[in-house]
Amino acid sequence: MNEPGANLATLKALVEAFNAHDLDLIMSFFAVDAVLEMPRGPDPWGRRHVGAAAIREGLRSRFEGLPDVHYGDDTHYVDGDMGISQWTVTGTTPSGEPIAARGCDFYSFRGGKVVKKDSFWKIVEKT
């Protein structure tokens, strides 16, 4: 089992890396065999990316789809090798549509690295 304090520091550093749009730094937190499940996709679990190369590509596309993406109002919880981050994601699509949604990520750790990140967003409906 990893040190919970180290995993908590990892979650906080990941939010900072995502807000800096620093793919190299983000990827430094992931194991080479990690899994990333995005909130949208063709399957009930969203779009699944397996392995570092696929995760990098999935995150690169996230930054293209929301070039000014930002995760704020974040809180983090850790229990052993499991962690949760809650946040509000904001950004603007390339077509100019603003996005604001509350969401969370469920994390699994192994040896100080993220081995799974499962992301969920609230669906905001236009009224």
Q: What is the pLDDT of residue 6?
A: 84
Q: What is the pLDDT of residue 109?
A: 97
According to DSSP, residue 51 is labeled S
Q: With a cut of 70, which residues of the chain have pLDDT below it?
A: 1-4
- The confidence score (pLDDT) of residue 5 equals 83
pLDDT for res 88: 97
Cα 93 from Cα 64, distance rounded (Å): 8
| pTM of the predicted model as reported, rounded to 2 decimal places | 0.91
| pLDDT in the model for residue 3 | 63
Which tens digit of pLDDT belongs to each residue from 80-108? 999 999 999 999 999 999 999 999 999 99
